[in-house]
Chains A and B, each alone.
Chain A
Amino acid sequence: MSTVGLYVPGHSPLHRTPAGAKLLALLLAGIGLVVWADHRVAAGALAAALVLYPAVGLPLRRAWSALRALWPFLLAIGLFQVLFADWQTALRLCAQLAALVLLANLVTLTTRVREMLDLFERLVRPLRHLGANPDRIALVLALTIRSIPMAAAAWEAAREGYRARGLSGRPHLLVVPVIVQLLRMADATGEALVARGIDEDTRH
């Protein structure tokens, strides 16, 4: 089951910090790491990002979960840079990437989706004049986040069904049942949105 992008309740100062301030800090950290392009700074930022997890009451395994998905890319980037540039560049790029992913994950884990959507709605409100609907865009974002575990559950269910029939290997055979299940889920979610009167609200 995917736990990426899910809020973890807590009472740390970071949990209480407004979403806008956290995103701004993340942006500044990103800019700072790019402008101050030094492998020692990047390594320090990575260490600081790791320290922040227990500091705000989150177990380090949360950081590891985020990095686990990233490691093939880090490995590829690191090897490429060592071969074609130098180890300092490899270290800098990998540390920058890992630090920023960890910090972004930290923002997600300490911010309710509702707060993020409220902020997003405020930010895109000026686009109303161009015909955009911030409510609808925010709803799409919420549904996208919600669909991550749904997709994981669909894949798991299809895989279990496949194994239960004594089959193994050829994972491409799971693609069609997963897509069918996701389409059915999407259809049901659409019906639920209509039943709860949510679609009408976002149209106005």
Chain B
Amino acid sequence: MLRLEGVSHSYDDRAVLRDVTLDLAEHRIGVIGANGSGKSTLARTLNGLVVPDEGRVTLGEWDTRRHARHIRRRVGFVFSDAANQIIMPTVAEDVEIGLRALKLGREETARRVEEALVRYGLDGHRDHPGHLLSGGQKQLLALASVLVTEPEVLVCDEPTTLLDLRNTRMVHRTLDGLEQQVVLFTHDLDLLDDFDRVLVMDAGRVVFDGVPGDAVPHYTKLMDER
């Protein structure tokens, strides 16, 4: 289970996370908040992309400060702009590159790549340049490239921000069908309807923690007061 204990972080003099303590045990957790509320930094602390100035983030016995490599293999991360996440020239190669770290062998690697391409509807694009895919397909490629490594947890930082309604729904359906724990940071409140737990962030703090039916009205009221 991901656990945050007294996590605080600043960029220069600007505090972006203030004493955040959380146990993230539920299968599907949403995080909402205004721009600048600390969501992206919090997301990045979960797989060690950001190591907090104070406090600690752990997954089981692993600590992001000392075991970032182990944690990154268990906590997959999807960014809002999938285009920047595409590393290799073609779709199949991009899915495959993440598996290299696992040293699975040629056959097992090929099998997993094939399976991921079919599962995420990318098998017709295997040899196409990833950067020429549509926005939705790029985000599916980003998801496939991360999920092919079979992480325990998937952290998504605003994965639908750049997508239209159809592609947003496609990503939503994909996230819906995952066995992994999903921690979704989003502005898209509709995605959270059937989530188990939603956190509301404001000024670097978690100001509400509950079910979507209560969290979304709380967030809306918070924004109305601004």
- Count A interface residues, CB 8 Å: 30
Binary contact readout B172-190 vs A (1 if CB under 8 angstroms, 0 otherwise): 0000000000000000000
Docked Cα-Cα span, A191 to B40, in Å, equals: 13
Task: List B residues 79-102 near A (Cβ within 8 Å).
Answer: 79, 81, 84-90, 92-93, 96-98, 100-101
Interface residues of A in 148-176 (CB under 8 A from B): 149-150, 153
> What residues of chain B lie closer than 8 Å to A114, measured between beta carbons?
88, 90, 92-93, 96
Chain A residue with the shortest CB-CB distance to B106: A118
Contact of A198 among B77, B79, B98, B126 (CB under 8 A): B98
Shortest CB distance B20–A (Å): 20
Contact between chains at B101 and A113 (CB < 8 Å): no
CB–CB A192/B79 < 8 A: yes
- Name the B residues within 8 Å of A1 (CB-CB): 132
> Contacts A1-B132, A153-B131 known; A195 to B89 CB distance under 8 Å?
no
Q: With A9-B127, A196-B98, A200-B69 as given contacts, are A145 and B89 in contact (CB-CB < 8 Å)? A: yes
User: What chain B residues lie within 8 Å of A104 (beta carbons)?
Assistant: none
Query: What CA separation (Å) do A146 and B92 show in the bound complex?
Result: 14
Q: Is the CB of A192 within 8 A of B84?
A: yes
Binding site for B on A (CB under 8 A): 1, 5-9, 112-114, 135, 142-143, 145-146, 149-150, 153, 185, 188-189, 191-198, 200-201
A-B contacts, 11 of them at CB < 8 A, read A7-B127, A113-B90, A142-B87, A149-B132, A191-B79, A195-B76, A196-B76, A196-B87, A196-B145, A198-B100, A200-B72
Apart from A113-B89, A197-B72, A198-B98, what are 17 other A-B pairs with CB-CB below 8 Å? Answer: A5-B89, A9-B127, A114-B88, A146-B87, A149-B132, A153-B131, A188-B85, A189-B85, A189-B87, A191-B84, A192-B87, A196-B72, A196-B87, A196-B146, A197-B73, A197-B101, A198-B100
